[in-house]
Amino acid sequence: MTRLEGQDWLTSSATMAVMDALEAAGGPDCARFVGGCIRNALVGRPVDDIDIATRLRPADAMAALQAAGLKVVPTGLAHGTVTAVSERQPYEITTLRRDVETDGRRAVVAFTDDWAEDAARRDFRLNALYADRSGTIFDPTGQGVEDALAGRVVFVGDPARRIEEDYLRILRFFRFYAWYGRAEADSHGLAACAAHAEGLTRLSAERVSKELLKLLAAPDPRPAVSAMRHAGVLARLIPAVASSAAFEAMVDLSDDPVLRLSSLLPDEPPVVVTAAQALRLSRVMEGRLGDAALGPLDLATPHATLRAFTYRLGRQAVLDRLMRGLAEAGGQGDRSALAAVADWAVPRMPIGGRELARLGVEPGPETGLILKAFEDEWVAADFPATGHADRLSRLVAARHR
């Protein structure tokens, strides 16, 4: 039997306090670690979240944890989940379950005492792994450990059935492939995802965008995105461009999922903004994608022009467009333009209504017109630090001829 070794999270006092509390109520083997913490430990990845599966019913688990003096939050009682906080570390604890009814978006569950039943309702074999407090791993599907070590993402049981239970598993298939896959994508899983891609339209935009951004944040999401494209999944999420060259170059240039997403989208701001809104992306992300869709900026653009763009559009927009230009060039070119924008201290408009009032200009529409003319000249002259009074006097005189 495979056993975890050298895992600090497994033997920490915070973890032991949670396991002690559960076993005091349910006896030995009433609780096991499950899913991502086992998978990541096996493949040498950091363990950020510790999930525990238990035979205890939610109310009993809560009572046991509270009796041990631990804070408990009822984070998902309908699905059997509570969160214990031990030494400021959260532990998500879920009662063993089996699906009673599913509709592709959510499931009605019943609690069970059977570890195999709980494993059978999980998405992928490398996630259907359990370990007791000694680190001994239990692999109910018989292939989860092997999959994790080999970098295979394979559905538990029939891929079509797993997807029909929750269509988000299509995106999870590609997301886990992006993060953990080291071989060719499982052909049966790919075929099932392609056949059921229409089901993605039944999901909430928030769930879809969360998975998509997690996928794009992987160290190298290119194989997964390519597989999504060929399976007809990508086109159901975004108005993808035909060429993938810019995206493939961008992956080497930046780990920013928003920039990577931008490089997959066409240079059509209205189309891109509509797609971002359909995905319910944040206003900040929507703004970045819309600005980047104005088109790549050539790295050879004069720095004075870049400063003008930065003043008008904002630093992030110009940096994103320069990165798009660098990706379009295959990552080749002088990158001093990026530093010139990143390091430049954007100046404030050096004059305002007070200076105009001193020249006898009454507040009103005339003030705005003169200030706009001043700003345009100042920006075009590359933000000179002096000469403001002469420029302003000339503009005022010109308006009153």
Domain containing residue 375: 353-399
Torsion of CA 172, 231, 196, 141, to 10 degrees: -50
| Rounded CA separation 261/136 (Å) | 40
Q: Would residue 268 count as lying in a domain?
A: no
Output the CA–CA distances (angstroms, integers) from residue 76 to 162, 248, 275, in the order listed: 22, 39, 31
Residues 350-393 have pLDDT tens digits of: 988 888 888 888 888 888 898 999 999 999 999 999 999 889 88
Residue 139 belongs to a domain: yes
Q: Can you give the pLDDT at residue 102?
A: 67
In this predicted model, what pLDDT tens digit does every residue of 250-301 receive, in sequence order?
999 999 999 999 999 999 999 999 999 999 999 999 999 999 999 999 999 9
Report d(CA 126, CA 174) in Å as an integer. Answer: 14
What are 313-339's pLDDT values in tens digits? Answer: 999 999 999 999 999 999 988 899 999
Which amino acid, residue 305? T
The answer to whether residues 26 and 54 touch, using CB atoms and an 8 Å cutoff, is yes
Q: Which amino acid is residue 123, in one-letter code? A: D
Residue 375 and residue 120: Cα distance in Å, rounded?
66
pLDDT of residue 400 exceeding 90: no
Which of 120, 150, 180 lies at the terminal end of a domain, its last residue? 150
Is residue 321 domain-resident?
A: no
Helices within 114-167 (DSSP H only): 115-120, 144-150, 159-165
Rg of the chain over all Cα atoms, to the nearest angstrom: 28
For helices 303-313 and 315-328, angle between their N-to-C axes, nearest 10 degrees: 130
Region label for 155, one of left (φ > 0), alpha (ψ between -120 and 50) or beta (otherwise):
beta
**Contact status, residue 177 vs residue 187, Cβ threshold 8 Å:** no
Span 123-145, average pLDDT: 96
To the nearest 10°, report the CA torsion of 60, 64, 69, 70: -70
Residue type at 385 in one-letter notation: A
- Domain-terminating residue out of 150, 178, 201: 150
pTM exceeds 0.95: no
**C-alpha distance across the termini of the chain, in Å:** 93
Is residue 314 in a domain?
Answer: no
Alpha carbons within 13 A on the beta-carbon side of 136:
5
- Average the pLDDT over 170-174 and give the result: 97
- pLDDT of 242 reads 60
Looking at residue 101, its pLDDT comes to 62
Among 22, 6, 127, 2, CA closest to 66: 22
CB 30 within 8 A of CB 22: yes
Domain assignment of residue 30, yes or no = yes
Integer Cα distance of 175 and 181 in angstroms: 9
Q: How far is CA 390 from the centre of its chain?
A: 51
270 belongs to a structural domain: no
Q: Which residue has the tokens 């408009």?
A: 349
Write the pLDDT tens digit of every residue in 197-239.
Answer: 999 999 999 999 999 999 999 999 999 999 999 999 999 999 8
Res 98 pLDDT > 90? no
In a domain, 173, yes or no: no
The H or E element spanning position 292 is helix 283-292
Strands (E), 127-271: 130-131, 137-138
CATH of the domain at 8: 3.30.460.10
Distance CA 55, CA 283 (A): 43
pLDDT tens digits, residue range 111-122?
A: 899 999 999 999
Q: What is the pLDDT of residues 63-82, one digit of tens each?
A: 999 999 999 999 887 788 99
Look at residue 77 in the predicted model and tell me its pLDDT. Answer: 79
Q: Which two tokens stand for residue 43?
A: 């493949």
Q: Is position 27 within any domain?
A: yes
Last residue within a domain, chosen from 150, 180, 202: 150
Q: Which two tokens stand for residue 5?
A: 């070794």
Domain count along the chain = 2
Question: Hey, which residues does 50 pair with through a beta bridge?
Answer: 91
